Chains A and B, each alone.
Chain A
Amino acid sequence: MNVTRRQFLKVTAAGLGSSSLALLGFSPQPALAEIRNFKLARTTETRNTCPYCSVSCGLLIYSLGDKSKNARAEIVHIEGDPDNPVNRGTLCPKGAGLLDMIHSASRLRHPEVREAGSSEWKRITWDDAFTRIAKHLKADRDANFIKTNADGATVNRWNTTGFLASSTASNEAGYLTHKVLRGLGVVTLDTQARI
């Protein structure tokens, strides 16, 4: 015998105690199975690291979707990784708000430019952004690149464009950034780590 949740509630509301259900000759199994599912059961778990302080706590990030090619994952929950030997599943008041940082209204969504003297942002494409910035960089480099110093020694430096690097970029992003910058001859380079 099948019974829907609604029917089941009707029956029980009619005054039958649960111990009497068996007397009715059916098992309440399917009905009881409709208790609320643990919401994380349908999510994908990903191991990550809290980006805030240098304790670098282990995280478990739960996102909707199975990460298949055309499914767009959405992060719905974050907690401490209980296996991580340092934080052992805990997060502090900073890390407890990570979900709100990821979904912050302040997140930037597309490239923008503020033209000289303007008081507004204007949306542009990545293609425009890369092209315009690359032209600026090249023009400044070509105009101010120093091949040799006053003594005639080869120095190959460019010091009229500067770069400040992030302490929350990954090692890989940081390394590649360094490689590109020295490749261009940049010496005006520093990082958050100094401050």
Chain B
Amino acid sequence: MTNHWVDIKNADLILVMGGNAAEAHPCGFKWVVEAKAHRKAKLVVVDPRFTRSAAVSDFYAPIRAGSDIAFLGGVIRYLLANDKIHHEYVKAFTNAAFLIDEGFQFEDGLFSGYDAAKRKYDTATWQYQLDGQGFVKIDETLQSPNCVFQIMKRHYARYTPEVVSQVTGTPQADFLKICELIAETAAPDRTMTICYALGWTQHTVGSQNIRTMAMIQLLLGNLGMAGGGINALRGHANVQGITDQCLYSEVLPGYLSAPADADKTREEYLAKRTPKPLRPNQMNFPQNFPKWHTSLMKAWYGSAATAENGFCYDWLPKKDAAYDVLALFERMHQGKMNGFVCQGFNPLASAPHKAKVAAALAKLKFLVVIDPLATETAEFWKNYGEFNPADPAAIQTEVFRLPSTCFAEQDGSFTNSGRVIQWHWKAADGPGEAMSDLDIMAGLFARLRALYAQDGGAFPDPVLGLAWPYRIPRQPHPEEVAMEINGKALADVTDPKDPSKVLAKAGEQLAGFAQLRDDGSTASGNWIYCGMWSQAGNLTARRDPADLSGLGQTPNWGFAWPANRRILYNRASCDLAGKPWDASRAVIKWDGAKWGGNDIPDMRPDAKPEEGVMPFIMNPEGVARLFAPERMVDGPLPEHYEPFETPLDGNPMHPNNPQAVSNPAARIYPGDLESFAKARDFPYVATTYRLVEHFHFWTKHALLNAITQPQQFVEIGEELAREKGIANGDRVRVRSTRGQIVAVAVVTKRLRALEVDGRKIHTVGMPIHWGFRGVTHPGYLTNTLTPFVGDANSQTPEFKAFLVNIEKA
């Protein structure tokens, strides 16, 4: 979330789309209810299903799963065509006036630079036009055909209400009503917030779904405002924190892009990641990359990391390919992996195409599962009849199952969706011999390190040299680790403006990332968390609920990264002179000498408004990107593409281009494209979702939750039920090209047939919570059915729109 849970109460309009907060995040949804009750805010819900969020909305519209960009692109067109944008904001705070390379083109569904054989774009023509000093050329009048504003206007002109309705199935009148409500928030003192979740991410156009919405929020001037922002309602209690610790191959803690084969030396590596400002006077905050990276190396490799050896740059593994969860299972399936460790993760249930995942696991030499609960993954080899028809004798994988403690049985911090880090305390020991994840990792590492010390082996240096300063090496205390994440001064850290002034003495905890240095004099395990444990102690343990602003900021409850800032980009909540757009919800303001107010300013505190330092400090251009010259592999502007399993014959926006049916830059593994279903055999759109009574594959182990939703079911609309002769309560078989499940049919008014591209489209709703372990009735893992393909940018699997057939069992 750019904002935070309580801040939802400050919104005038709440859009819930690509999510269902009332059921998936009930206690956060109370702030939607609060906004409705006390601000007279309106709630709009767009979803294929009439959810419980929809049930309390002021306006609900149905949409075909997988067509969100068509809908949102239509909103952009509406805002531009009806001049419902926040002009001053758009002109100053976005790249609307920036000029793009004259070679940029969009034709018949493809952007310039497409290589069909590689399914990749060359982004050379998506770049800014630069002047002699390396700054982007701009056209203040917004009239140049090559400026972002005009390119965007042309691009979305095609998304008329007629086309939107044709592609999404949303009735035109409903769509226009929602456009009107959204357009009202273009007023400087009105804001809209958007609450989305997996309903937007689990698509092959997932990242672009979210980008489209971000563009709308920018056009309306809603980013940086109290009650505004782009708010991802995330999954687990610490999914944000684990994302921040970056347990994925392409980044190091704090979103530091990990080195790849091409980054041969530390100098080359740092140079590529340390941008130059693209406009005069901008903060260009990533220019500090070397400080963050060097401090991480000091936290990891301690005294072994010296300026002479490039702070052990060579010790870091260099990435040569994709290693995301889909790539990982593909490699495993191809027999390229020998070992695999699952820590608190149940991929047999949560990764797509269960049969492929099970076959891949069976090719391993060894599998280690660390979990508090008996998961399906740990027993992929065991025969559970129709639910898991495995033959143990044929599976040679050696499987270890290690019991870990759960949240209640350990100290530590979790980061909520609003970036607030909160410490929690242990209430009891775990059952039996259960150990914490920390102790298990430390135990395994201690054993490995001893083996390398004793016998040597492949490149033992980083194994032996890894900094391990914990009092009890096999049991690092969570507090010690939290202090390491924050970081400390290794030598006195002085003020660059006045070297006689010591900001942090050697050995002291650092107060924030501004104190990090690139000369090895500071260590910090995660720069964005720097400040969580300063000399003042553990700030994540603070429990003062005082809210003096009335905005719900509670600055002394826990610690929000970065820098305890509660609303990101909050400089954008003020006009160019530093005056809040809405004085009644002022986040910060310029007081004549400095920035300050109800939040930590997302701006250099002494940056005078007339200096023109723009709010989006993490971009070298200082402004937000309506047009993205980099980072998006599938286009600088979002475009509607069909799901890889589409119920239509093609992409109605590009009916004559077979290359532009589905995301042209999504990664497809050999053999998978042919395995995707065709609508003639599998005519119904399936979409997976969650219930209020359950949490993923976890609560099926808890009796109370199992009692409230004991048995697997699927939802279908009344019309489809009639066509298929299915009655409420009948058992039905749902098939995809990858497998089948059997479940009880719930016939409902919540899912209705939609008119799409001249035909009727039915949706089958599939809650995901059952499996062959737990205290519910045994059920099928729904990922038996889902396709093995992910978002072009994030590789998040497409669970929200695929094809099935259904019949009475």
Contacts and interface: CB of A to CB of B under 8 A. Distances in A.
A141 B246 CA distance: 23
A106 interface: yes
Interface stretch (B314-322, B608-616, B618-626): B314-322
B374 A170 contact: no
Contacts of B451: 134-135, 138
B543 interface: yes
Contacts of A173: 412, 436-438, 441, 478, 481
Nearest to B481: A172
A85 B552 contact: yes
B579 interface: no
Interface range on chain B (Cβ under 8 Å from partner): 35 or more
A39 interface: no
Interface string A147-161: 101010111111111
B135 interface: no
Interface in B21-58: 24-28, 30-31
A111 interface: yes
Q: Which of A80, A165, A194 lies at the interface centre, i.e. has the most chain B CB atoms within 10 A of its CB?
A: A194
Contacts of B431: 107-109
B695 A53 contact: yes
Contact of A162 (B332, B484, B694, B708): B332
A96 B704 CA distance: 8
Interface string A118-138: 110100001001111111111
A171 B695 contact: no
B403 A108 contact: yes
Contacts of A50: 237, 407
A109 B436 contact: no
Interface of A is mostly: mixed
A55 B432 CA distance: 30
B365 A159 contact: no
A187 B320 CA distance: 9
B422 interface: yes
Nearest to A105: B775
B351 interface: yes
B28 A86 contact: yes
Given A133-B400, A138-B457, A54 B245 contact: no
A169 B437 contact: yes
B27 A87 contact: yes
A167 interface: yes
A176 B317 contact: no
Nearest to A144: B338
Given A73-B428, A166-B437, A188-B337, A54 B253 contact: no
Contacts of B347: 164
Interface stretch (B112-120, B287-295, B323-331): B323-331
Contacts of A92: 26-27, 692
Given A100-B703, A167-B236, A194-B324, A106 B401 contact: no
Contact of B247 (A132, A138, A189): A189
A188 B249 contact: yes
Contact of B261 (A78, A86, A153, A180): A153
A87 B422 CA distance: 13
Interface stretch (A13-21, A23-31, A56-64): A56-64
Given A111-B402, A195-B350, A117 B393 contact: yes
A106 B432 CA distance: 12
Contacts of B398: 113-116, 136
Contacts of B237: 49-54, 56, 168
Nearest to B404: A108
A98 to B, nearest CB: 7
Interface in B761-779: 773-775
Contact of A187 (B317, B393, B402, B695): B317
A122 B436 CA distance: 21
A111 B443 CA distance: 13
- Most chain A CB atoms below 10 A, which of B233, B323, B394: B323
Among B30, B241, B300: residue with most chain A CB under 10 A: B241
16 contacts: A53-B233, A53-B236, A86-B27, A109-B434, A110-B432, A116-B397, A130-B444, A158-B458, A162-B323, A162-B340, A164-B341, A164-B342, A169-B242, A175-B481, A192-B242, A195-B350
Interface of A: 44, 46-59, 61, 63, 72-75, 78, 80, 83-88, 90-102, 104-119, 121, 126, 129-138, 140-142, 144-145, 147, 149, 151, 153-195
Q: What 7 A-B pairs have minimum CB-CB distances, sorted nearest first? A: A166-B344, A109-B432, A170-B412, A108-B403, A161-B339, A97-B704, A56-B416
